[in-house]
Each structure stands twice: as C-alpha cells, then as structure tokens.
Amino acid sequence: MGLLRKLLLAPVELPITGALWIVEKIAETAESELTDPGTVRRLLRGLEQQLEAGEITEEEYEFAEEILLDRLKRGQAAEARSGGP
C-alpha cells in the first residue's frame, strides 16, 4: 500500500521536493556570497572610499561598517568550521 501511495502522489510530491531543494541551494549560495571574506573586504574598501569622497556621512559609514564586519566574522567562522582557506 505504501508503494502504491508513493506512486500516486509522486506527480504532486516530486515537484514540491524539487522546488524546496532549489530554494535551499539558492539560500546557501546567497549566504556564502554575503559572508565571503573577499567580497566583504571589497565592500568595506568601497564604503571607506565613499566616506572619503563625502558621498556618505560618518554615521552611515559606521552603520554599514558594523553590518559588514558582522558578515566578515560570520564568513570567517564558517570557513573555520569547514576547514576552508
């Protein structure tokens, strides 16, 4: 009975399972890009250049810097856990 049920529900369950898998992979990729130390360092340099050029205020700089430094710490912690570079 279990096999018959799986066969009958496959057209409904498989697309949902596949869609969930795709969403999980997209989320993993986005998270890894957001916390990639190289990417975060480039963003920090760009932020500093914006401050020096007067495009943003000191307050805006400090707010964005705090967010980016948090991302950098998360990325470094993830690398340490996975044994990455």
Write out the DSSP string of 29-71.
HHHHHHT-HHHHHHHHHHHHHHHHTTSS-HHHHHHHHHHHHHH
Total number of domains in the chain: 1
User: Residue 36 has what pLDDT?
Assistant: 87
In a domain, 21, yes or no: yes
In a domain, 66, yes or no: yes
pTM more than 0.85: no
What secondary structure letter does DSSP report for 14? H
In a domain, 34, yes or no: yes
Single out the residue of 30, 38, 40, 26 nearest to residue 71, CA to CA.
Answer: 40
User: Residue 10 has what pLDDT?
Assistant: 82
In a domain, 38, yes or no: yes
In a domain, 29, yes or no: yes
Question: What average pLDDT values come out for the chain (85 residues) when binned by 10 residues?
Answer: 81 86 90 86 95 96 95 84 70
Q: Which residues form the domain of 7? A: 2-80
User: Residue 84 has what pLDDT?
Assistant: 61
At residue 84, the 3 state secondary structure works out as coil
User: Residue 54 has what pLDDT?
Assistant: 96
In a domain, 42, yes or no: yes
